[in-house]
Amino acid sequence: MKDTTTQPEKGSKLKELFNFMVYLALIFVLSYLLIQYVGQRTCVIGESMENTLQDGDNLIVDKITYRMKEPERFDIIVFPYQYKEKTYYVKRIIGLPGETVQIMPNGTIFINGQELEETYGREVIKEAGLAAKPITLGEDEYFVLGDNRNYSSDSRAVDVGNIKREDIVGRVWLRIYPFDSFGLISHR
């Protein structure tokens, strides 16, 4: 009598292995698409966005919103730092395309000659940097500041400057760590 129990078992194991490999490939492709086009995780390093964001905060960046609408004033965005590979900055949009931004010696921010009413600056700006003189933003440029203004490298600095629309990775959406601070990030 012929033993037939080993043959189907071999075929079954191969089929199971094939299904597992397809499953892994699908997970890999979906993960890649999510990270590339929907959202990505980033970690805050430093104090430049205190009190809104803290050193060590882990965030999810929304990469979809700006495909449907333009960035708005006070949005917190992520963009690459041009002088160091794989380094991203997290800052708040203050000036929009076509606007003129200036920071007065007393630290007051003016947009198109009007004082900006905002509550995000942690303290009075001591150094206006490039914005000591009026800066007129191009059609695709944004002026960004950290909330902890005196401890932030932002659009006031030559090495950061105005941020081009194409360089904006996305909008900070969710804090996932530390767990006791888990939640959506308010931009208003």
Helix (H) or strand (E) holding 17: helix 6-33
Catalytic residues: 48, 91
162, amino acid identity:
N
Q: 32 — phi, psi (to 5°)?
A: -60, -45
Residue 153 burial by Cβ neighbours in a 10 Å radius (0-12, 13-18, 19+) = middle
Question: Per residue in 43-73, is it b (16+ CB within 10 Å) or e — as a string?
Answer: ebebbbbbebbeeebbbbbbbeebeeeebeb
CA distance 21 to 129: 55
